[in-house]
Amino acid sequence: MSIELDTGVRRSVLPGGLRVVTEHVAGMRSATVGLWVGVGSRDEQPAVAGAAHYLEHLLFKGTAQRAATQIAEEMDAVGGELNAFTSKEHTCFYAQVLDVDLPLAIDLVTDVVFEARCADADVDTERSVVLEEIAMRDDDPEDLLHEVFQETIFAGHPLARPVLGTEESIRGLDPAALRAFYRDSYQPPKMVLAVAGNVDHDDIVRRVRKSPAVGADTAADAVATDPAPPRSGVAQLSTSGQLVLRTDETEQAHLLLGTRALHRHDERRFALSVLNAALGGGMSSRLFQEIRERRGLAYQVYSAMGCYADTGLFSIYAGCQPERLGEVTGVLRTTLTDVATGGLTEVEIVRAKGQLRGGLVLGLEDTASRMVRLGKNELNYGRYYSVDDTVARIDEVTVGDVAEIAATLLREVQAVAVVGPYSHVDELPDEVHEVMA
Amino acid sequence: MSIELDTGVRRSVLPGGLRVVTEHVAGMRSATVGLWVGVGSRDEQPAVAGAAHYLEHLLFKGTAQRAATQIAEEMDAVGGELNAFTSKEHTCFYAQVLDVDLPLAIDLVTDVVFEARCADADVDTERSVVLEEIAMRDDDPEDLLHEVFQETIFAGHPLARPVLGTEESIRGLDPAALRAFYRDSYQPPKMVLAVAGNVDHDDIVRRVRKSPAVGADTAADAVATDPAPPRSGVAQLSTSGQLVLRTDETEQAHLLLGTRALHRHDERRFALSVLNAALGGGMSSRLFQEIRERRGLAYQVYSAMGCYADTGLFSIYAGCQPERLGEVTGVLRTTLTDVATGGLTEVEIVRAKGQLRGGLVLGLEDTASRMVRLGKNELNYGRYYSVDDTVARIDEVTVGDVAEIAATLLREVQAVAVVGPYSHVDELPDEVHEVMA
């Protein structure tokens, strides 16, 4: 079964439940293939915290057919990029190559994902690499801040756990537990192969079905399996306002404040994306203008939104010299209150829509971002939303919609996190304490 | 005068000396325009250190025609990206937009670059922003390390100075000095307007000539000015081996070691780029395999090369837990010695060439990277080298060429820099001291 969708998107479900979604784009020289698994850190039991990301590393260490060196050599020889990333809800292995090298890319990605050896010795070697990655993250104050913030605002919920795990959990993970996680999580019905570029859907499906790794042509053929449905549900989260400090002898104080926001099935997410763009998404946004342009208080200031299956985040970041943290927080607070009570102007909303539209359309020129769009849409919604669909939904947003979501989300700051040279929260300026009041 | 070059590249020199170089690429939806100035931090007198980068900020603060807010609003409204970057030898102001918005992008970029107001009050506001940027750089150990390394290996040469300036130099810069630097540096013969995408050369030239900012249609028409020639010359550098430590309470120790290498007019640079790819450029490279894959000693390890007009750099980076710094440095040293004495194998060289070729061809799909290629080639060489030209030069490199450049550059480490939790160089492991021996 294969359905022709708008633009050049086609979708097939293989007998074992693996979905293949492709987008044909004429005239591109590159092609990007991504093999997605609908599994991330939130799916781990606390005892194996960090397993999803650890596995992402381990799978490159060799397959039944190829040693780790060989995997690296075959991809480097054609100048492509082979890599992977893990998030709270997804793991994705991908390769971006010239279109003539797509067969190799599909072969490598499926081999790595379905046929990894996960040998004991490799688990140990890679343990050190993961520990180095955690140390590197801790040395980047902005990355560390985002981590601390999520741990606070989602306290008690699986989304609170860091994707990388902790030093303790990584030291404690044994090969058998990782292999069990691999076996249980990497099931075809939870997986999507997404390919974008100058590519042919039928040829890709034929290749994937022939692959012994996928096995859809043989035994599994007899057992037609439905794809796993998108995640859903509403989180129960009751944490009250929290202020958390991570002491670090940095030059700048790094501040993140925000609130839990919309899950990805909430129809108000388009209004929120307009609010996000106008409040802290670009050079003309309120926050950039107030904090950087008018007052020169920061180099970086922005807002950000994230949607998960059952909850979401809306947050504001600013980095500044410690002696200005009070003033910066005061201006942030006033700006948020203004928008919460007065909404945004028609002009700001028209501009924010233009900004989102331009960014979406520019993204079409990159096969990697098209591949990500295909894979995420399939896992998150079980269908494809084209850029035109999204632009249309954004265009429908009204001044009233934005005012409403601003009033809902900007009145209350649920968590504030600071990374900086303070030894105790009491040393933080009054404005930081007051921002949650 | 306009010359049709290979691929879709055309070049015109306007009467005032400004060069316009465009590349027509059919089927692209984006277009990128960059206005390059052949001026960077190496062109500053020590008294105005950081002026080139400070100006890059200041120019966005408003023009005769537009307030800063208006500049930001006009670009955000079409969802484009307007930004700039400064390096040791170049400053570039650029905008990436949908092709229909190219006229606006050209108008904004030329207005900002030629007609900036540089008002006293804006100099003061932006001073704080630049100081924040310096503090942010200092909070990123890898960025800080590269800075410390360059200060050491180029000691006594203008390339040693940090692009951002120092806290002291930025505090001391007054508006009149900045305006003088602007007036003296931003001269059309030193500048290149580079545009890539689905664009029309003649239309762009017409637009730019009409712009009162450029003024090429009026007074300057009478005075035909030649473009400035590319930088040349050979640096006199005699620093002997130096080990430098910047104490920082980081989780990882960050190490950079290397040597002065080839300037950009040196024909051996293609052999060096092959060496760089094979030694530390990809997952299959010797350093990645030895340090990360086999031993799990680091998350990040890579080599890098940089070419300037009169000298260059070849360096190796690794980040690891402090207790492993000795072992990492030992493995680095052995690997460099092996390659310096034995060169690389035919197989490694074929693979490195494939890697470089794939990366270059994939880059063609991005109008921003094409624009950068156009601008840099014109300023650095006074002509255009297509990707095909470069690929051909890389293909000519032999096993012997690589062995020769490896023997020249890898025998001697001229500088080692470390950022990490050590209070004195004496605390660094022996291997770090020995690597320069």
Residue-wise pLDDT tens digits, A115-155: 999 999 999 999 999 999 999 999 999 999 999 999 999 99
Instruction: List C-alpha distances in Å: A347 to A275, B76, B168, B169.
Output: 13, 12, 41, 41
Task: List active site positions of A.
Answer: 56
pLDDT per position as a tens digit, B99-140:
999 999 999 999 999 999 999 999 999 999 999 999 999 999
Indicate if A64 and A106 belong to the same structural domain. Answer: yes
CA distance B346 to A154: 54
B8–chain A nearest CA distance, Å? 16
In a domain, B267, yes or no: yes
Please check whether residue B229 lies inside any domain of the structure. no
The band of B222, judged by pLDDT with boundaries at 50, 70 and 90, is: very low
**Secondary-structure percent of chain B, ordered helix, strand, coil, rounded to 5:** 50, 20, 30
A291 in Cβ contact with A331 (< 8 Å): yes
Q: Is residue B180 part of a domain?
A: yes
Nearest to B339 by CA among B393, B274, B390, B292: B274
Residue B214: which CATH number? 3.30.830.10
> How many residues belong to chain B?
437
Residue of B381, B380, B24, B382 whose CA lies nearest to B196: B24
Res A2: pLDDT: 54
Residues 221-280 of A with CB under 8 A from B: 249-252
Name the residue among A112, A7, A88, A93 with its Cα closest to residue A40: A88
Residue A189 placed within a domain:
yes
Instruction: Report which secondary-structure segment, H or E, holds B239.
Output: none
B169 and B249 assigned to the same domain:
no
| Domain containing residue B340 | 242-434
Q: Which of B299, B300, B387, B418 best probes binding to A when mutated, by most A CB atoms within 10 angstroms?
A: B299
B253-260 and B312-320: which strand pairing? antiparallel
B158 with B285, same domain: the answer is no
What are the tokens at B263?
């300037």
pLDDT 10s digits, A300-325: 999 999 999 999 999 999 999 999 99
Q: Is B421 within 8 Å of chain A by CB?
A: no
Please name the residues in contact with B25: beta carbons below 8 A apart, sequence gap of 6 or more.
Answer: B8, B196, B197, B198, B364, B367, B370
Q: What is the DSSP letter of B116?
A: B
Q: How many residues can be counted in chain A?
A: 437
Nearest neighbour of A75 by CB, restricted to B61, B141, B283: B283
pLDDT of amino acid A236: 65
Is B2's pLDDT higher than 70?
A: no
Q: Quick one: B172 and B206 in the same domain?
A: yes
Question: Percentage of residues in chain A with pLDDT exceeding 90?
Answer: 89
pLDDT in tens, A67-84: 999 999 999 999 999 999
Same domain, A166 and A285: no
Lowest mean pLDDT among A15-29, A384-398, B213-227: B213-227
Q: Is the pLDDT of residue B6 over 80?
A: no
Reported ipTM: the value is 0.92
Helix-strand-coil percent breakdown of chain A, rounded to 5?
50, 20, 30
Backbone dihedral angles phi then psi of residue B427, each to the nearest 5 degrees: -80, -15
Quick check: A416 pLDDT over 70?
A: yes
The rounded distance, in Å, linking the Cα atoms of B9 and B29 is 18
Of A159, A185, A218, the residue at which a domain comes to its end is A218
Chain B segment 296-355 residues within 8 A of A by beta carbon are: 296-300, 319-321, 350-352, 354-355
Query: Mean pLDDT throughout A405-430?
Result: 96
Residue B234 identity? V
Kindly state whether residues B259 and B182 are assigned to the same domain: no
Chain mean pLDDT for chain B: 93
Q: Can you tell me the distance from the alpha carbon of B407 to that of B393, in angstroms, rounded to the nearest whole number?
A: 21
CA–CA distance from B283 to each of A73, A386, B98, B296, B337 (Å)? Answer: 8, 34, 35, 13, 20
Q: Which residues pair with B98 in a beta bridge?
A: B30
Positive or negative torsion for Cα A283, A285, A291, A293: positive
Contact B1, B13 (CB under 8 A): yes
Is the dihedral angle over the CA atoms B371, B373, B377, B383 positive or is it negative? negative
Instruction: State whether A139 and B289 contact (CB < 8 Å).
Output: no
Same domain, yes or no: B16 and B96 = yes
Distance CA B247, CA A384 (A): 51
Q: Which two tokens stand for residue B191?
A: 């500048």
How high is the pLDDT of residue A126? 96
Q: Which amino acid is at B316?
A: I
What is the structure's pLDDT at B219? 46
Centroid of chain to Cα B311: 14
H-state helical runs in A117-200: 120-138, 141-153, 167-172, 175-185
- For residue A135, the distance in angstroms to the closest alpha carbon of chain B comes to 5
**Both B207 and B252 in a single domain?**
no
- Asked if residue B216 has pLDDT above 60, the reply is no
Whole-number Cα distances in Å, B140 to A266, A388, B46, B133, B145: 37, 39, 25, 11, 9
Q: Which of B61, B76, B132 sits opposite A320 (nearest CB)?
A: B132
Q: Is B400 on the interface with A (CB under 8 A)?
A: no
> Considering the domain boundaries, does residue B234 fall inside one?
no
Look-up of token digits 């449905």: A229
> What contacts A300, CB < 8 A, 6 or more positions away?
A142, A317, A318, A319, B132, B136
Crossing angle of helices A120-138 and A175-185, rounded to 10°: 90
| Same domain as B271, residue B166 | no
Query: Is B286 contained in some domain?
Result: yes
Collect all residues of chain A within an 8 Å Cβ-Cβ radius of residue B131. Answer: 321
Same-domain pairing of B47 and B165: yes
Q: Are strands B19-24 and B191-197 parallel, antiparallel or unpaired?
A: parallel
Q: A242-247 and A415-420 as β-strands: parallel, antiparallel, unpaired? A: parallel
- Which of A183, A218, A253 marks a domain boundary? A218
In terms of Cα–Cα distance, which of B410, B415, B435 is closest to B244? B415
Chain A contact for B7 (CB, 8 A cutoff): no
Under an 8 A CB cutoff, do A76 and B252 touch?
no
- pLDDT-derived band of residue B214, with 50, 70 and 90 as boundaries? confident
B227: in domain: no
User: Which three-class secondary structure state does DSSP give residue A160?
Assistant: helix
From B214, B185, B150, B156, select the one nearest B52 (Cα to Cα): B185
Are A274 and A406 within 8 A, CB to CB?
no
Task: List strand residue ranges (DSSP E) for B38-105, in order.
Answer: 81-86, 91-98
| Domain boundary, last residue among B218, B234, B259 | B218
Number of domains in chain A: 2
Of B188, B138, B166, nearest to B41 by C-alpha is B166
Are A364 and A370 in contact, with CB atoms under 8 Å apart?
Answer: yes
Q: Is A59 helix (H, G, I), strand (E, B) or coil?
A: helix
B267 and B208 fall within a common domain: no
Average pLDDT, chain A: 93
Residue B226, domain member (yes or no) = no
Tell me which residue of A170, A332, A153, A319 sits closest to A248, measured CA to CA. Answer: A319
The residue type of B198 is N
Section B408-422 average pLDDT: 95
Distance of residue B79 Cα from the nearest chain A Cα, in angstroms: 3
Contact residues for A323 (Cβ-Cβ < 8 A; gap 6+): none
Is the minimum CB–CB distance between B399 and chain A shorter than 8 Å? no
* Token output for B257: 């070691």
pLDDT at B215: 61
Q: Which two tokens stand for residue B301?
A: 């390890």
Distance separating alpha carbons of residues A223 and A217, to the nearest angstrom: 11
CA-nearest of B183, B191, B200 to B99 is: B200
Q: How far apart are CA A142 and CA A133, in angstroms?
A: 15
Q: Is B356 exposed, middle or buried (0-12, 13-18, 19+ CB in 10 A)?
A: buried
Q: State how far the Cα of B287 lies from the Cα of B303, in Å rounded to an integer.
A: 8
Nearest Cα to Cα of residue B16 among B186, B134, B175, B138? B186
CB A208 within 8 A of CB A12: no
φ, ψ (nearest 5 deg) of residue B213: -60, -45
Reading the block at residue A58, the tokens are 């381990």
Give backbone dihedrals phi and psi of B10, rounded to 5 degrees, phi first: -130, 155
pLDDT digits (tens, 9 = 90+) for A164-210: 999 999 999 999 999 999 999 999 999 999 999 999 999 999 999 98
DSSP-assigned letter for residue A293: I
Q: Is A27 on the interface with B (CB under 8 A)?
A: yes
Test the B interface: residue of A299, A327, A391 with most B CBs within 10 Å: A299
Q: Do A205 and A286 have their domain in common?
A: no
The two structure tokens encoding residue B318: 């690794």
Please name the residue of chain B whose CA is at the shortest distance from the CA of residue A58.
B293
Catalytic residue among B56, B74, B290, B378: B56
Residue type, B283: M
The average pLDDT across A411-421 equals: 95
* Across B316-343, average pLDDT: 97
The answer to which of A319-333, B9-23, B225-239 has the lowest mean pLDDT is B225-239
CA pair distance B299, B253, nearest whole angstrom: 12
